[in-house]
Chains A and B, each alone.
Chain A
């Protein structure tokens, strides 16, 4: 306790050595003052937290967009996405046309007990079939129930928020840039959506949820 080396005291305690007990008194004053302040805790189950739209809570599957390309399952660092599919032949639409085969999704499941919430699957999905939702209340008593099958993943889609507006100082996203270019063209062939490739009607889905 008795140290001879002079040391840089913090500004508040410059005279701390002169009057023993000053530091203690100051600390006591801090806690006493804080006692009169309002608490900062959220009363969680009563008041839900406000989460930003980018919050990584749960993954929603927009299965209408899924083409079973398996990219997400392959890129997942811990292989927690399970996809089953079969091929189906679609009869030719026009007489004399060729019949086409297409992939039909049988099973799409994400094991959230394994998931590391990195978001790579969402990033790699070329057809925008996967989305982050900030929902987080899906704790289960049985670990097996943490594997969400496609219907449950589809349900999460209703909670996907609108992505936040981007900082004006940034470069505009390529989709927007492409759309703008198309719109500025003298003779637009058709009215392009502002965000081609994104599922329509993503915005108002939050209201649909109770």
Chain B
């Protein structure tokens, strides 16, 4: 299976230089336009979800809003924090933005067999492809995070620092889950090149074939792009602006751009790897022969991309932010083990199938084994947590320092670790006699004496 990877890429790298330039510019323009539209769409969709109208002042239907925002941002004062590490501070937005664009070079917009012609030159709808295209994407994606980490570090300010640190941890834990979900795709497609992966999905999309990988990737891609509910590095309720707190003007715009370009890029990867890439969705491909030829694939690709962007927006409009440790827990304790087990399963099934075993038998053995392992791990986890709790309870029962509320002759609050003395309180409701309500109420509001007040303060 693996052998077939090297061969079919001969169609790439044969374009004349000007065509490469044209394609590169197109990819760049496509991304920019897509980002601008996505931003408007995000604001519109979120507004609808909140029963608002959304931007409607700039251009027809508010479509030029993000353009106007971009212009506005560039006209803002460009601040450089005094105590910052200036070189890194200036470099960080660039580091964040550029890799986001780079990953798109290997994304196929259409089939890899000279379907279209540009200025009389037959070519593919893809800038280039590599035998290790997906590894290249993984590499660029992780470089992009450096921009955020460096921004947080160089700002010399607590909030960005925390944001940067969170981003580091986020990158480390979610790259792994992401890579593992890719591995299952590699095993099935037998290739790491993007065009090959799309080619091998002509019968069934990998989202159907590898649902667990797909879900893991979807979660990981939201985590990777710092989008809600995983927008911890810039959590505005906690860290004000997170890593970009100290940024303004065009540098801030670069971060925003990077975020959205990243969103588009990871969505494109998801489309390519799991949703059949440029292939027409099922009912159309079944009915219409020409759907996967000529320029049409671009439409399907864009539609799928748009759908994933909508998913991002939808999540942002609905979900609150996760806590940092819960997020780590999800990554390390759920996504990575699940991916591992799933990968094991996929590999086993694949290997057994290659050896010609009966499919049902394989499924039975493998599933049984997997469930046993899962059960054991869950039990262990549960027992350990219980142990922790008991330990904690024992600790809290330990005798504590006596608290003197009048230490030094004046009332003081308890120090950490000191317990408060019991406070004399009124009796519980059930033990007290009921006040005849109807008689009391009206008179009480106007009664001159306040005996009623006294009555309640008894011990």
A-B contacts counted at CB < 8 A amount to 38
Instruction: Say yes or no for A93: interface residue by CB 8 A criterion.
Output: no
Report Cα–Cα, A32/B53, bound state, in Å.
15
Instruction: Say yes or no for A1: interface residue by CB 8 A criterion.
Output: yes
**How far, in Å, is A33 (CB) from chain B's closest CB?**
9
Q: Would A27 and B318 count as touching, CB distance under 8 A?
A: yes
State whether A40 and B385 are in contact (beta carbons under 8 Å apart), knowing that A27-B318, A31-B318, A35-B45 are contacts in the complex. no
Instruction: Say yes or no for A41: interface residue by CB 8 A criterion.
Output: yes
Given A27-B319, A31-B314, A34-B48, 5 more contacts at CB 8 Å?
A: A2-B382, A27-B318, A32-B49, A39-B51, A43-B53
In chain B between 318 and 369, which residues have their CB closer than 8 angstroms to a CB of chain A?
318-319, 326
**How far, in Å, is A44 (CB) from chain B's closest CB?**
11
B: which residues have CB within 8 A of A?
A: 45, 47-53, 314-315, 317-319, 326, 382, 385
In chain A between 28 and 50, which residues have their CB closer than 8 angstroms to a CB of chain B?
28, 30-32, 34-41, 43
Instruction: Say yes or no for A165: interface residue by CB 8 A criterion.
Output: no
In chain A between 1 and 33, which residues have their CB closer than 8 angstroms to a CB of chain B?
1-2, 24, 27-28, 30-32
Q: Would A28 and B51 count as touching, CB distance under 8 A?
A: no
A residues near B47, Cβ cutoff 8 Å: 39
Q: Would A39 and B314 count as touching, CB distance under 8 A?
A: no
Q: Would A31 and B317 count as touching, CB distance under 8 A?
A: yes
Q: Would A41 and B385 count as touching, CB distance under 8 A?
A: no
Interface size in chain A (residues, C-beta < 8 A): 17
A residues near B52, Cβ cutoff 8 Å: 39-41
**Residue picked from B50, B53, B318, most chain A C-beta under 10 Å:** B318
B residues near A31, Cβ cutoff 8 Å: 49, 314, 317-318
Q: Would B50 and A34 count as touching, CB distance under 8 A?
A: yes
Q: Would A30 and B318 count as touching, CB distance under 8 A?
A: yes
From A2, A35, A39, contact of B53 by CB (8 A): A39
In chain A between 61 and 101, which residues have their CB closer than 8 angstroms to a CB of chain B?
none
The 9 closest A-B pairs by CB, nearest first: A31-B49, A35-B48, A31-B318, A40-B51, A27-B318, A39-B53, A35-B49, A31-B317, A39-B51
14 contacts between A and B (CB under 8 A): A2-B382, A2-B385, A30-B318, A31-B49, A31-B317, A32-B314, A34-B48, A35-B45, A35-B49, A37-B51, A39-B51, A40-B51, A40-B52, A41-B52
**How far, in Å, is A103 (CB) from chain B's closest CB?**
41
**How far, in Å, is B46 (CB) from chain A's closest CB?**
9
Report Cα–Cα, A192/B54, bound state, in Å.
55
State whether A41 and B53 are in contact (beta carbons under 8 Å apart), knowing that A2-B385, A35-B48 are contacts in the complex. yes
B residues near A38, Cβ cutoff 8 Å: 51
From A2, A28, A40, contact of B318 by CB (8 A): A28
Report Cα–Cα, A188/B139, bound state, in Å.
98
Report Cα–Cα, A50/B45, bound state, in Å.
28
**Residue picked from B49, B52, B326, most chain A C-beta under 10 Å:** B49
Of all chain B residues, the one with the shortest Cβ separation from A30 is: B318
Of all chain B residues, the one with the shortest Cβ separation from A40 is: B51
**How far, in Å, is B190 (CB) from chain A's closest CB?**
33
Report Cα–Cα, A35/B53, bound state, in Å.
10
State whether A41 and B326 are in contact (beta carbons under 8 Å apart), knowing that A2-B385, A30-B318, A35-B45 are contacts in the complex. no
Report Cα–Cα, A55/B52, bound state, in Å.
25
A residues near B317, Cβ cutoff 8 Å: 31
**How far, in Å, is A137 (CB) from chain B's closest CB?**
19
From A24, A27, A32, A34, contact of B51 by CB (8 A): A34
B residues near A24, Cβ cutoff 8 Å: 318-319
Of all chain A residues, the one with the shortest Cβ separation from B315 is: A28
B residues near A39, Cβ cutoff 8 Å: 47-48, 51-53
Report Cα–Cα, A173/B382, bound state, in Å.
72
Report Cα–Cα, A32/B49, bound state, in Å.
7
A residues near B315, Cβ cutoff 8 Å: 28
B residues near A35, Cβ cutoff 8 Å: 45, 48-49
**How far, in Å, is B353 (CB) from chain A's closest CB?**
31
A residues near B319, Cβ cutoff 8 Å: 24, 27
A residues near B318, Cβ cutoff 8 Å: 24, 27-28, 30-31
Of all chain B residues, the one with the shortest Cβ separation from A36 is: B48
Report Cα–Cα, A111/B183, bound state, in Å.
72
Of all chain A residues, the one with the shortest Cβ separation from B53 is: A39
**How far, in Å, is A17 (CB) from chain B's closest CB?**
15
Q: Would B51 and A41 count as touching, CB distance under 8 A?
A: yes
B residues near A1, Cβ cutoff 8 Å: 326
Of all chain A residues, the one with the shortest Cβ separation from B45 is: A35
A residues near B48, Cβ cutoff 8 Å: 34-36, 39
**How far, in Å, is B57 (CB) from chain A's closest CB?**
10
Report Cα–Cα, A120/B320, bound state, in Å.
45
Report Cα–Cα, A24/B314, bound state, in Å.
11
Of all chain B residues, the one with the shortest Cβ separation from A32 is: B314
**How far, in Å, is B329 (CB) from chain A's closest CB?**
8
Of all chain B residues, the one with the shortest Cβ separation from A27 is: B318
**How far, in Å, is A16 (CB) from chain B's closest CB?**
15
A residues near B50, Cβ cutoff 8 Å: 34
Report Cα–Cα, A38/B326, bound state, in Å.
36
Q: Would B314 and A28 count as touching, CB distance under 8 A?
A: yes
**How far, in Å, is A41 (CB) from chain B's closest CB?**
5
Of all chain B residues, the one with the shortest Cβ separation from A37 is: B51
From B49, B53, B326, contact of A34 by CB (8 A): B49
